[in-house]
Structure 1
């Protein structure tokens, strides 16, 4: 029987069959494809070219269940690929005999029919078949090796009108091997897809939880820490560290220049901890001699020394279950360092003149403006004690690194002054702008003193820029900067080591004085020097341009267009140099 209207299929010489090459080419296609099902048309064409197996097709279980009948006793499948391309065609498309395909799905056994028209009926032949003398070969594709669960069927047709009778057994073996390769490819693809879905679901859940947490935090913002004023990036970073470490028992070392508010942040650590209802005890180690410090911290028994008329509890006992703040820890001597180390290691001590060993549970917070690393290197500070107290070091930024907080701090100090003195004074915008350009070597403490001084001396209710000490030649900031050297620092501590000195390198080996505040980098009348160097100070030997933009370009050229070096030449911070370059639209030169 010949089906009219169907194109004639090319004749195939059965003597030119290449089973090994067929399997090899199929393996190359399937293992190199990201989607093995989409690559099956190429594999079916290889079966046709190398083996003469025509009109091949791939049937896969229909996971959606669209092809299942009402009885629910059949295996619904779809035609996932044919030699003409990949497409999701229904089972009734006649690419493969429906009854034979379902039998393979059900039994998991390969099927070979050498008389399709007689055994399965003429309607089982594909529409493009030129006659009815075709054999049908179908092999199962399992979920995994030796699994009874069949997920697909690979089928192909053999023309029986060829001159030499074909080897059907060899055709079945080749198709079985191709099906095995497809099994592994589909299995790997499903594993990858499953992992991808799992990762995507985990990512979605994590994103949803993060969004919910962000929304919750946005609805209930973190309570501000009492006494800490400012929203600059530098202070926000410190506050974030304080909030994280406060909930633990880890020792904290607060580092920073004098006047940065180390005691305030120590109180914040205590207030945010689970010890907030317990005592907060502070000791200034620099204010006491070594003998008095030992008695103050450990206590003493009656009669232990002249003047010990009664037993006295030490600060460690008083701070039991609470927090002990040791300020200026870098000032204690070597002998007392060993005694302090013991209580930090063992949690026990004896009072001066006593024999009873006492145990305490104390959260230790220390502070210093000294360079403890240099002290350890010189042997002035014990390395083992250093590692005991410097578990979580937190560096408090100087005020010159967060000048954007100056207006809020100044207003807070002025409000406090008004409340304490029953006044209602306010600062003009020009005065606030002038303060925001100062460098404040004494940091927040100096700013507070500056506000209290100008508020007390101002004649009216409004404080103008001309009333500030820096505009009247009575500000000592410039003199403090001039006196600061690497060996001695009147500012105190870390500034001598960690802060670039605002000195102009004239090439003559001399160190001329520098202004404590940026000169001329402002706008309007308030752009006058906010903190002038003393009038008698010597100027650099080479003349400097007076124009603000020219001064900046001149400093950048002398610094080789390195902003950090130019900042040192002008007595500014690198951030201020960056702002000035943007303000005057000065392009950076690259070498």
Structure 2
């Protein structure tokens, strides 16, 4: 007797595909919706032990299943090419085991094989030509469809599952990326000391630099920003990023000198869980965080020889492995590096790799020191003064004579030193107006006899900047009984900077 349409297998296949499409489109819990889909598949087509394996780190793990207990899920893992399941993933083709009882390709890791089970079919989950996982099912004595019909049905639902899983993975990766970026920017905000706003300056030297930034910002070329400590290298890197096609993507920063050699590679490239003692969880490095955007590496001349090798590879191949990991990660990052060191001399001395130097120095940008920027000092003074008065709710007036002292001071710490000095002036200065003599006392490390005014016999022509800086450093150290932290406060520079200068002058 002819069967009615409602009971024919083709009609059942169409119904179960429709049910699965509805389940995965309406649910936000991917695992539960996949398990409901597998149950619908099992009931409609009389299949046994339906399971979905997800590919993670070159291993197939059970992601959703029907008929597997917790222990069976844990032990049922397959490498690519291992068993029928691994073979389906590696070949990206369905694998049919007609008789699981005499075929060595069926490994039965879960121990689910019984006298009712006859065959096993594994079909790969493929999304955009990439393997996502495998769907597997047993044919039992109760199954009424043949191999071809089962493969056809599983192939159709595999495409639905693959797109569903792939879309979910993309969403989760984006959530993780945004979470990492949120944490990074929170750390940056919490630790940020200097916030200059945008670049300030109208001098000829600065105008020439603006032209260079405008010409190269739109490209992806690597840039090396060079200049003395405190000249604003980070601001230049930020300006390049904001004017580039990557402006909507992350701008990630790292001061290489502030990280120990043992931790620098982890900061740059990330690490896997258990890579070292304190690696309690997998962490992305700055290169991954900056993917699609710009990475600014300050004090690039201070990185170790091993980090130089790895950095060179990233610049050449745009790929790397996390510390303790073997998976190659590809990134699309625009690199801006900065240094106050003489890299050419370091190359000659064997302290810096020549090939890395040429990779970094594609487009050099030289920042002028503050002492060579003329009236820019006055612009910066007014900018920092207004901001500091607003922060401290205090009005301070700098007289023309006091401003002349500020203009004449050599500013060995550049813009950063100027900002700290203005902060001190607002806190300690008189609201009635700061005189030239009062300004001399407020300037870091230099007394009345060291500030260059029109009536002073001291002239910068008589001494080099290094001599002026060294004397100021020694004076500050003597006043603070050689306490570097206190001397740094007197000079208006950081403790790291004073440590570098002490070493530089052999004090």
TM-score, normalised to structure 2, is: 0.51
Aligned to 2:258: 287
Aligned to 1:569: 462
Aligned to 1:404: 375
Asked if 1:472 is matched to 2:365, the reply is no
Give 1:467-546 correspondences, 5 Å limit: 467-468=438-439, 471-472=440-441, 475-476=444-445, 518-520=452-454, 528-529=455-456
Secondary structure class of the residue paired with 1:427:
coil
CA distance in 2, matches of 1:410, 1:430: 14
Asked if 1:447 is matched to 2:394, the reply is no
Aligned to 1:278: 249
CA distance in 2, matches of 1:461, 1:252: 47
Aligned to 1:354: 325
Contact 2:251 2:294 in 1 (8 A): yes
Contact 1:255 1:394 in 2 (8 A): yes
Aligned to 2:52: none
Aligned to 1:179: none
Contact 1:440 1:477 in 2 (8 A): no
CA distance in 1, matches of 2:236, 2:450: 27
Asked if 1:371 is matched to 2:342, the reply is yes
Contact 2:231 2:370 in 1 (8 A): yes
Asked if 1:438 is matched to 2:409, the reply is yes
Asked if 1:237 is matched to 2:203, the reply is no
CA distance in 1, matches of 2:255, 2:348: 24
Asked if 1:256 is matched to 2:227, the reply is yes
Give 1:389-428 correspondences, 5 Å limit: 389-428=360-399
* Change in CA separation of 1:516 and 1:380 when aligned onto 2, cut-off 3 Å: farther
Contact 1:410 1:447 in 2 (8 A): yes
Aligned to 2:491: none
Asked if 1:316 is matched to 2:298, the reply is no
Contact 2:298 2:338 in 1 (8 A): yes
Deviation at 1:463, TM superposition (A): 2.7
CA distance in 2, matches of 1:358, 1:572: 46
* Change in CA separation of 1:384 and 1:571 when aligned onto 2, cut-off 3 Å: closer
Aligned to 1:300: 271
Deviation at 1:283, TM superposition (A): 0.3
Deviation at 1:570, TM superposition (A): 5.6
* Change in CA separation of 1:342 and 1:355 when aligned onto 2, cut-off 3 Å: same
Asked if 1:269 is matched to 2:162, the reply is no
CA distance in 1, matches of 2:318, 2:464: 47
Contact 1:517 1:571 in 2 (8 A): no
Deviation at 1:227, TM superposition (A): 1.6
* Change in CA separation of 1:334 and 1:232 when aligned onto 2, cut-off 3 Å: same
Secondary structure class of the residue paired with 1:320:
coil
Listed one character per residue, the Cα deviations across residues 470-505 of structure 1 (whole Å, up to 9, x for unaligned) are: x238632589xxxxxxxxxxxxxxxxxxxxxxxxxx
Deviation at 1:303, TM superposition (A): 1.1
Aligned to 1:8: none
Aligned to 2:62: none
* Change in CA separation of 1:402 and 1:306 when aligned onto 2, cut-off 3 Å: same
CA distance in 2, matches of 1:461, 1:365: 45
Secondary structure class of the residue paired with 1:426:
coil
CA distance in 2, matches of 1:475, 1:429: 19
| 1:460 alignment partner, one of 416, 421, 431 | 431
Q: CA RMSD in A?
A: 2.4
Contact 1:425 1:455 in 2 (8 A): yes
Deviation at 1:518, TM superposition (A): 4.0
Aligned to 2:486: none
CA distance in 1, matches of 2:402, 2:307: 48
Aligned residues: 271
Which one has a bigger Cα radius of gyration? 1
CA distance in 1, matches of 2:445, 2:451: 11
CA distance in 2, matches of 1:266, 1:464: 37
Which structure is higher in helix share? 2
Deviation at 1:342, TM superposition (A): 0.5
Deviation at 1:356, TM superposition (A): 0.7
* Change in CA separation of 1:309 and 1:459 when aligned onto 2, cut-off 3 Å: same
* Change in CA separation of 1:226 and 1:420 when aligned onto 2, cut-off 3 Å: closer
Deviation at 1:405, TM superposition (A): 0.8
Asked if 1:328 is matched to 2:299, the reply is yes
Deviation at 1:447, TM superposition (A): 1.2
CA distance in 2, matches of 1:228, 1:434: 23
Deviation at 1:403, TM superposition (A): 2.2
Listed one character per residue, the Cα deviations across residues 497-550 of structure 1 (whole Å, up to 9, x for unaligned) are: xxxxxxxxxxxxxxxxxx865453xxxxxxx44xxxxxxxxxxxxxxxx6x9xx
CA distance in 1, matches of 2:230, 2:278: 35
